[in-house]
Structure 1
């Protein structure tokens, strides 16, 4: 597994990280034994970055990671998030409440301090007010957190965050079906030494190439209840694409791929070919998925002709169908 520096944290993180939303049973029931196996296989594959949040499973994801950390010889870089808990979101943000949520994450993870805490898609007006960043800087000075960043929904919000003093990272939706960051955010992040963490690299599984129009999802899965933005921002599910349109686009995209690469490999490798990307948060509900994701780090970069085709495909076929802004 190859590594990259994560912005001003100075930490060498694996190019492929492990997204841990699914460890909170938020995509359907996941046995504790399997969750622990996923974490162990990720470590065996050289993945040293775990991404979770206090609200994933109401703390279950953090708790499972914490129990795994206690028995693991490896000490990965753990990212968690704050800001979507019921005591905060959408309009009850106070310094004490944010501190309490962070302390809850520290307890569940079994850590003395958080490696990195990111604001978790908080309302833009709260983000842009800026006071919450002052609180995070205070928590950093107090030793509760080592670094702080922001996970956002819109690229304009990410660009705003790049101006915040001491901000270490931005986490964004970025993939073959959502390419706006290339010309706008990535250069700004590099200029300010801010690590770029990519989420939804496979557009909620569309870019795995394994879904069909009759795909069924569990009741707990956001791909069931949020496919049209009923529960939270529509862009967080299938990249903001209507599901059936997403399947059609995937079928078209497969036709332009070289025979030696599948869609998952192409999608993750394309992201790694962007030099400003620090790490990709790839979720996995089985150890086999972890291994497949990790192997992409060692694939050769895509050739220029394929890269041009993928960018042209996005501009001509995908961009106009994305709902909720970019």
Structure 2
């Protein structure tokens, strides 16, 4: 698979990564044997960029990824995150230097590796100066525990402050045909600063595939049941937009998921989508998108099918934790 470079320090990753979150939580029950098989197949296909976080499955997702890469560590670029602290049903954002150091050591133990290739601040707590948090992350680089640093869902201003402390290889934010708000300020700032963009939810958590069931048909523990974009009239409206994308995909001989990923890949060599799946079928489908090139006419048809402000409903029940 084609490689892309994140940041100015040469972090090379596959053009498409693999989001591992859903293997452990949030999208109904997973099967560990199949999830490990998916990760192994991704590596076979050259999809070497694996994304996890310490809060996914309360650490069990990191453990799963660690087991999957054992014996194949040199083939994988492992990215994980800190910052979302879970206590029962409640969550807090923790960015203190002391917490960062402890979180990194815990992630290394769960992953069973000596160094994290890309370590993200998952969310930002604005009560902690970003300079203090990134300073602590930089110490982890100096100690050899982390190779490259990343941030997730921060504003252009925060990104500038962070880069002034230490180079940032990647900004991970939601980006898709259905989520394009970062194109106004955040993506231009990232490019100015030499920061790559890792696009999570590139198929809008299944909406863009055209195959997502209604909220009432989702598993009880599927978190999309509680997200405004996927409920009620919002869902009906957005599924109609997804149907328009599928029509463009059908004409191009692609699936809706593939054309959505191909659109993202066409937004720049510094954009790396990380579609998540726990099924081999969808992994193979997604991976094939890396070999697709859209014509200018197809790109234009997709933007006309989904204008930037056409999608209804917020991404999360509360948007207070993003773009700080």
TM-score range, shorter chain: 0.7 to 0.9
Listed one character per residue, the Cα deviations across residues 289-313 of structure 1 (whole Å, up to 9, x for unaligned) are 111111111112x221232233344
For 1:214 and 1:119, the matched residues in 2 are separated by 30
Contact 2:16 2:272 in 1 (8 A): yes
Query: Can you give the 5+ residue segments of structure 1 that lack an aligned partner in the other structure?
Result: 229-236
For 2:200 and 2:112, the matched residues in 1 are separated by 25
Deviation at 1:316, TM superposition (A): 6.6
- TM-score by length of structure 1 reads 0.86
SS at match of 1:196: strand
Match of 1:103 in 2: 105
Q: 2:284 aligns with which of 269, 278, 291?
A: 291
Match of 1:275 in 2: 268
Deviation at 1:155, TM superposition (A): 6.4
Match of 2:238 in 1: 246
Match of 2:195 in 1: 194
- TM-score by length of structure 2 reads 0.86
Contact 2:200 2:275 in 1 (8 A): yes
Match of 1:46 in 2: 46
Match of 1:231 in 2: none
Deviation at 1:4, TM superposition (A): 0.7
SS at match of 1:117: strand
Deviation at 1:135, TM superposition (A): 1.1
Match of 1:113 in 2: 115
Deviation at 1:251, TM superposition (A): 2.2
Contact 1:201 1:282 in 2 (8 A): yes
Match of 1:76 in 2: 76
SS at match of 2:238: helix
CA separation of 1:307/1:114 partners in 2, compared to 1, >3 Å: closer, same or farther? same
Tell me the C-alpha RMSD between the 2 structures. Answer: 2.8
Deviation at 1:125, TM superposition (A): 4.4
Is 1:311 equivalent to 2:312 in the alignment? no
Match of 2:221 in 1: 220
CA separation of 1:60/1:178 partners in 2, compared to 1, >3 Å: closer, same or farther? same
For 1:55 and 1:269, the matched residues in 2 are separated by 29
Is 1:180 equivalent to 2:181 in the alignment? yes
For 1:60 and 1:29, the matched residues in 2 are separated by 13
CA separation of 1:249/1:153 partners in 2, compared to 1, >3 Å: closer, same or farther? farther
Deviation at 1:142, TM superposition (A): 1.9
Deviation at 1:89, TM superposition (A): 5.5
Is 1:261 equivalent to 2:254 in the alignment? yes
How many residue pairs align between the two structures? 314
Contact 1:269 1:299 in 2 (8 A): yes
Match of 2:19 in 1: 19
For 2:93 and 2:195, the matched residues in 1 are separated by 28
For 1:134 and 1:123, the matched residues in 2 are separated by 15
Contact 2:93 2:124 in 1 (8 A): no
Contact 1:21 1:53 in 2 (8 A): yes
Match of 1:94 in 2: 96
Deviation at 1:132, TM superposition (A): 0.8
Match of 1:169 in 2: 170
Query: Can you give the 5+ residue segments of structure 2 that lack an aligned partner in the other structure?
Result: none
